[in-house]
Amino acid sequence: MAEMTPMMRQYMEIKEQNKDSILFFRLGDFYEMFGDDARKASRELDLTLTTRDKDKNKSFEEKIPMCGIPYHASDAYIARLIAKGYKVAICEQTEDPAAAKGLVERDIVRIVTPGTVIDSACLEEGRSNFCAGIYLDGDYAGFSVCDISTGQTHVTAFSGPDREAHLQNELGRFAPAEAVLNPGAAEDTALRALLEDKLRCHVERLPAGRFQLPAAEKRIRQQFGDDAAQRLPRDNPAAMLALGALLDYLHDTQKTDLNHVDRLDYYRQGQFMELDLTARRNLELTETLRGKEKKGSLLWVLDKTKTAMGARLLRSWLERPLLSVSAIARRNDAVAALVKHTVQREELILALTGIGDMERLMGRIVYGSAGGRDMVSLKNAMDHLPAIRQQLAAFEGGHLRELGARLDPLEDLAEVIGRTLQDDPPFSVREGEFIRDGFDPEVDRLRGILHGGKGIIASMEAAEKEKTGIRTLKIGYNKVFGYYIEVSNSFKELVPETYIRKQTLVNGERYITQELKDLEHDILSASDRDAALEYELFTRLRQTLCDAVTRVQGAAAVVAELDCLCSLAAVAVKNNYCCPVVDESGVIEIHDGRHPVVECMRPDAMFVPNDTYMGEKENRAAIITGPNMAGKSTYMRQAALMVLMAQIGSFVPAKAARIGIVDRIFTRIGASDDLSAGQSTFMVEMTEVSDILRCATSRSLLILDEIGRGTSTFDGMSIARAVLEYCADPKKLGAKTLFATHYHELTAMEGTLPGVKNYNIAVKTRGEDIIFLRKIIPGGADRSYGIEVARLAGLPSTVVNRAKKILRQLEEEAGRPAPAVQAQEDQVSLTALSEGEVIDQLRRAQVDTLSPLEALNLLYELKKKLN
């Protein structure tokens, strides 16, 4: 192998320590990548691959492929690599190349990973970006997450046989972008599958040595202080281990102090409603099941926040519903006060509008990646605070007033930023011209020279003329002497002693003076010195802000919370929600409840409200029958969503509601997305059901939608019945259960099993047509109407008629009377799905509220459906 250049050797050494990252190697104005990194990057980023040092004839380097990107455009490239799951190690020149003797020193300044991006190009505004630390062994499970763009950190730990299930639920809750795992967690296939396949989380395995108690505790004390470390459990080491290793990893990759990571939230099992990933997805809390879109989710309905901080917090409220009546009441009372005081609410919302992302701006300032513009944005955000504080003080008491008292208006910081920086500073902080005029006399002087260099020379010329009486005195400039004073021979005797002769010309002399040389130096170096001085002042400002990081983050937290409360209040007013009574009664009682999302998705269609009553003893389990499309699933989800909304402190879509706190909501709904993972639908269904039966308590709410559907009728019916018996029986589970089934045979359980009640969703038949009334009524459905619905769905009439015949035969064989279906076998039915839909839509249309244009559109749409 031919010899490497010293620089290439330096590269190899650094690369050796960062094998799993793509190394961005700074060379002048470019980041260069070599070898495999270059191949990967050129493929992923569409860059041209070249080779280096051809002329030097060094065969080794000749073969090394390379590609590069301009350093100032690196953010976008890094974002693309991170999005594809790569890590990027950034290697900078750590000394001034001009001052370097020989090879310029270089070092890794930061490793960007999916869980540690701070650049806004890679981050979603209304969503936290978490990096998780996970510890799992035979006794304990520890879980921690940190969002380094905001500093927000959470940690918890579990023990006992269900520790891993709890751990998985926390992963579903926070959906981290990246996770560091101890060997015990990394070897757990179920956990890995959840992380990598379902959550699309980047996994880092760390060796066991990185999970050691004394070291972990030391790290935590350093980062969060002794008090925070003291609050962590001593009887379960997993909390400290998971958090300690995470902090370690963040320090290793970020190579900074992370001063803004200063608030630690330790929470215990039982503090928040636990939801497994299945329930989260089925209930479509933050995204829809199929499209993975926000539109159509509960968050979409509830999120009318005005700030990115509020949007992130509201999402986390949805991910973490509360279990404490008093904590819920605190939020709920605040929402109620905002609902009541329309003018104040509107004013607050107006004041919140336009507040920038203080949390992430502060994160970037601590990181040193913030520019003048970021600081001015922060100031603009701070400028809103005093007014908000005042508005909150006007509330009679309670949580809103407390928030106001807690809100640090940060006027001193806003003032410092405003005094230091111009209103609209340039992008770069390295080139000067962003410090406000009048802030620093030296900056003003340098800028004066910089902008007025010629003028200064002219006035010096005039002053010298005056002083010496030499009328022909001129100040000139050439490359050899710089500035000089020229005096013609006729005035030679008037030249003062302080003039130093430099050059003799035919008809005159050229001189310099100390003053002139000083000025020359000033003029020529003003630009550099101004840039350096302004940068220095900027770093001082940055330090002032860094020192106040806790205050800024505290104010940001108040803004975020207020924004969430205002959003919930605004939605409650707009959608006509009621304030629920939330208590420990164990009763769920909803009058005229509606599905919060369905009613918003189809605002022109009338949503039929329904009651729900579930008691501790009576009505503990409801068997809901009715044909497909009747509205069973909608009805059950609606109840679950209302419980959830009540427990985050929101109003609910109903006339009145009383919600007894529920510790967990479980769902088993429809076909799962796991087919791709190689499990059959039935297998998935049964796994989910067994998880539910194992983990649910008598305080849980169970939504079981058509259990047993994936297997043969008798198997399915038997399983469904056994499951329902288990859930409803107070000696076994005794949980509140909504149980939709197409086996209307199960309705026989009412009366034999205490607490079980039959309901069905009413339909009417008119001739061969089925009309959905959407109203839940007591009693079981008489039959399944499967054939009518199939016809509505457009199954060819020959098939429909044949099905009818077969059904009649089967029922006769079973000794039951055939239902009264008119047999008009040969008549071709024209009322396919479209007509049913048209009738449905007409019935629901609220003609009184339609504008003429909407009416015309509706008519057009109906007509189109018929064709």
In terms of CB distance, is 223 or 633 closer to Mg ion? 633
Size of the site for Mg ion (CB under 5 A): 1
- 570 binds ligand ADP per the rule CB under 6 A: no
229 binds, among ligand ADP, Mg ion, none (CB under 5 to 8 A by kind): none
Q: How far apart are CA 360 and CA 603, in angstroms?
A: 36
Least distance (Å) between residue 707 CB and Mg ion: 12
Contact window for ligand ADP (CB under 6 A) among 134-142, 326-334, 631-639, 849-857: 631-639
- 282 binds ligand ADP per the rule CB under 6 A: no
The correct pick among 558, 629, 648, 770 for binding ligand ADP (CB under 6 A) is 629
Closest CA to 662 of 270, 277, 301, 278: 270
Tell me which DSSP letter residue 674 carries. Answer: G
Q: Is 569 annotated as a binding residue?
A: no
In terms of CB distance, is 9 or 843 closer to ligand ADP? 843
Contact window for Mg ion (CB under 5 A) among 384-392, 439-447, 627-635, 834-842: 627-635
Residues in a beta bridge with 771: 764
Do residues 611 and 773 touch, judged by C-beta distance below 8 A?
no
The correct pick among 555, 608, 657, 696 for binding ligand ADP (CB under 6 A) is 608
Q: Which of residues 100-159 bind ligand ADP (CB under 6 A)?
A: none
Q: Is 867 annotated as a binding residue?
A: no
Do residues 170 and 176 touch, judged by C-beta distance below 8 A?
no
Q: Which of residues 645-704 bind ligand ADP (CB under 6 A)?
A: none
Do residues 367 and 118 touch, judged by C-beta distance below 8 A?
yes
Map residues 451-480 to x or -, x wherever contact with Mg ion holds by CB under 5 A. Answer: ------------------------------
Distances (CA, A) of 802 to 152, 263, 297, 529, 746: 63, 68, 41, 92, 27
| 3-state DSSP assignment of residue 765 | strand
Residue 189 burial by Cβ neighbours in a 10 Å radius (0-12, 13-18, 19+): exposed
Q: How far apart are CA 706 and CA 714, in angstroms?
A: 14
Q: Which residue in the shown chain puts its C-beta closest to ligand ADP?
A: 631
| 3-state DSSP assignment of residue 322 | strand
Q: How far apart are CA 536 and CA 440, in angstroms?
A: 12
Q: Is 631 annotated as a binding residue?
A: yes
Least distance (Å) between residue 854 CB and ligand ADP: 19
In terms of CB distance, is 112 or 652 closer to ligand ADP? 652
Do residues 635 and 703 touch, judged by C-beta distance below 8 A?
no
The correct pick among 74, 236, 282, 633 for binding ligand ADP (CB under 6 A) is 633
Size of the site for ligand ADP (CB under 6 A): 13
Least distance (Å) between residue 634 CB and ligand ADP: 3
The correct pick among 154, 668, 774, 791 for binding ligand ADP (CB under 6 A) is 774
Least distance (Å) between residue 608 CB and ligand ADP: 4
- 607 binds ligand ADP per the rule CB under 6 A: yes
- 632 binds ligand ADP per the rule CB under 6 A: yes
The correct pick among 169, 223, 236, 633 for binding Mg ion (CB under 5 A) is 633
Q: How far apart are CA 357 and CA 374, in angstroms?
A: 10
Q: Which residues contact 532 (CB under 8 A, 6 or more apart)?
A: none
Contact window for Mg ion (CB under 5 A) among 462-470, 520-528, 633-641, 852-860: 633-641
Do residues 275 and 173 touch, judged by C-beta distance below 8 A?
yes
- 630 binds ligand ADP per the rule CB under 6 A: yes
Q: How far apart are CA 229 and CA 598, in angstroms?
A: 46
Closest CA to 316 of 180, 153, 549, 143: 153
In terms of CB distance, is 363 or 631 closer to Mg ion? 631
Closest CA to 666 of 165, 397, 278, 331: 278
Three-state secondary structure of 45-113: HCCCCEECCHHHCCHHHHHCEEEEEEHHHHHHHHHHHHHCCCCEEEEEECCCCCCCCCCCCEEEEEEEC
In terms of CB distance, is 511 or 607 closer to ligand ADP? 607
The correct pick among 184, 321, 631, 755 for binding ligand ADP (CB under 6 A) is 631
The correct pick among 81, 598, 642, 735 for binding ligand ADP (CB under 6 A) is 598
Least distance (Å) between residue 856 CB and ligand ADP: 24
Q: What does the block give as tokens for 288?
A: 């829809």
In terms of CB distance, is 393 or 793 closer to ligand ADP? 793
- Which pairs count as long-range contacts for 863-866, CB under 8 Å and 24+ apart, including other chains? 865/834, 865/837, 865/838, 865/841, 866/834, 866/835, 866/838
| 3-state DSSP assignment of residue 475 | strand
Q: Is 632 annotated as a binding residue?
A: yes
Least distance (Å) between residue 614 CB and ligand ADP: 18
Q: Taking phi first (over 0 means left), then psi (-120 to 50 degrees means alpha), and beta for anything else, what does residue 81 get?
A: alpha
Q: Which residues contact 802 (CB under 8 A, 6 or more apart)?
A: none
The correct pick among 628, 698, 718, 829 for binding ligand ADP (CB under 6 A) is 628
Contact window for ligand ADP (CB under 6 A) among 280-288, 298-306, 621-629, 797-805: 621-629
Contact window for Mg ion (CB under 5 A) among 281-289, 558-566, 609-617, 625-633: 625-633
Contact window for ligand ADP (CB under 6 A) among 389-397, 456-464, 541-549, 624-632: 624-632
Least distance (Å) between residue 236 CB and ligand ADP: 43
Contact window for ligand ADP (CB under 6 A) among 379-387, 442-450, 525-533, 626-634: 626-634
Residue 291 burial by Cβ neighbours in a 10 Å radius (0-12, 13-18, 19+): exposed
Binding-site residue set: 626-633
Residues in the site for ligand ADP, rule: CB under 6 A? 598, 607-608, 610, 626, 628-634, 774
Binding-site residue set for ATP: 626-633
Residues in the site for Mg ion, rule: CB under 5 A? 633
